[in-house]
Amino acid sequence: MSDERLIGIVDDDASLRRSLGNLLGSTGFNVETFASAEAFLQAGKAEAMDALVLDVRMPGMSGVDLLVELGRRDSRLPVVVLTAHGDDDVRKQCLRAGALAFLTKPFQAQELLDAIERVTSGE
What are the structural domains, with CATH classification, of the chain?
Answer: 6-121 (3.40.50.2300)
Distance between CA atoms of 53 and 74, rounded to whole angstroms? 18
Helix (H, G, I), strand (E, B) or coil at 82: strand
Q: Give residue 1's pLDDT.
A: 47
Distance between CA atoms of 70 and 60, rounded to whole angstroms? 16
β-pair partners for 6: 30
- The whole model's pTM is what? 0.93
Distance between CA atoms of 11 and 36, rounded to whole angstroms? 6
pLDDT tops 80 at residue 123? no
Count of H-run helices and E-run strands, the chain: 5, 5
Region 66-95: mean pLDDT is 91
Q: Give residue 84's pLDDT.
A: 85
Q: What is the identity of the amino acid at 9?
A: I
